């Protein structure tokens, strides 16, 4: 497959991953909004799932796919050392990636691809996960604030916290 085709395939995959993760987060937020008033323990578990999904899965997968898209979009194979010029090396070897990006920028003055977060990517792949994390923290805080007003819900929190810990072991 030619670089242009590989670029298109990987760009489409990147868009698909974003859609899947946004749909999943939307579903989790809906569930969180339903339980946040009466079940702070459940809210704790749902928040933990939501935030860990964002940063442990979404951000890592999308970031890797972004780098693969850049590898093909900018023809990075020709800027990588011959013995290590695979997309795998570009994605996982920050030193080689930085050197390849600098070589590309030297040949293409005015282009800045070093950080990989052009304006749209920064909004979708940095600002949106941060915003979703803030929403999760606010929902959890409000849920526990409501719990302070209703003391019997502390027992629920204790039970749900133990459930969460049992999954983490």
DSSP structure string for 16-44: HHHHHHHHHHHHHHHHHHHHTTT-HHHHH
12-30 residue pLDDT tens: 999 999 999 999 999 999 9
Identify the pLDDT of residue 155.
Answer: 59
CA dihedral (83, 104, 89, 8) in degrees, to 10, reads -120
Q: Is the pLDDT of residue 105 over 60?
A: yes
Contact between residue 41 and residue 12 where contact means Cβ atoms under 8 Å apart: no
Q: Is the pLDDT of residue 72 over 60?
A: yes
| Residue 49 banded pLDDT, cuts 50, 70, 90 | very high
| Residue 165 banded pLDDT, cuts 50, 70, 90 | confident
**Of residues 109 and 137, which shows the higher confidence score?**
137
Q: How far is C-alpha 29 from the chain's CA centre?
A: 16
Q: What b-and-e string marks burial along 27-58, b requiring 16 or more CB atoms within 10 Å of the CB? A: ebbeebeebbeebbbbbbbbbbbbbebbeeeb
What is the mean pLDDT of the segment spanning 116-141? 87
Helix (H, G, I), strand (E, B) or coil at 58: helix
* pLDDT-wise least confident of 55-59, 87-91, 97-101, 118-122: 118-122
Identify the pLDDT of residue 140.
Answer: 86
Identify the pLDDT of residue 157.
Answer: 61
Angle, CA 67 vertex, CA 66 and CA 73 arms, to 5°: 90
Identify the pLDDT of residue 108.
Answer: 86
Helix (H, G, I), strand (E, B) or coil at 151: coil
């Amino acid at each position: 497959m030619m670089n242009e085709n590989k670029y298109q395939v990987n760009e489409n995959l990147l868009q698909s991953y974003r859609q899947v993760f946004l749909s999943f987060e939307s579903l989790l937020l809906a569930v969180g909004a339903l339980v946040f008033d009466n079940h702070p323990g459940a809210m704790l578990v749902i928040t933990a799932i939501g935030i860990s999904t964002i940063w442990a899965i979404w951000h890592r997968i999308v970031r890797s796919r972004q780098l693969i898209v850049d590898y093909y979009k900018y023809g990075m194979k020709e800027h990588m050392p011959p013995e290590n010029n695979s997309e795998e090396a570009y994605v996982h070897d920050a030193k080689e990636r930085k050197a390849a990006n600098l070589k590309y920028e030297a040949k293409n003055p005015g282009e800045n691809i070093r950080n990989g977060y052009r304006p749209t990517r920064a909004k979708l792949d940095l600002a949106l996960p941060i915003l979703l994390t803030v929403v999760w923290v606010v929902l959890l805080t409000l849920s526990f604030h409501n719990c302070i007003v209703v003391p019997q819900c502390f027992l629920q929190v204790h039970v749900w916290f133990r459930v969460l810990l049992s999954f983490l072991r």
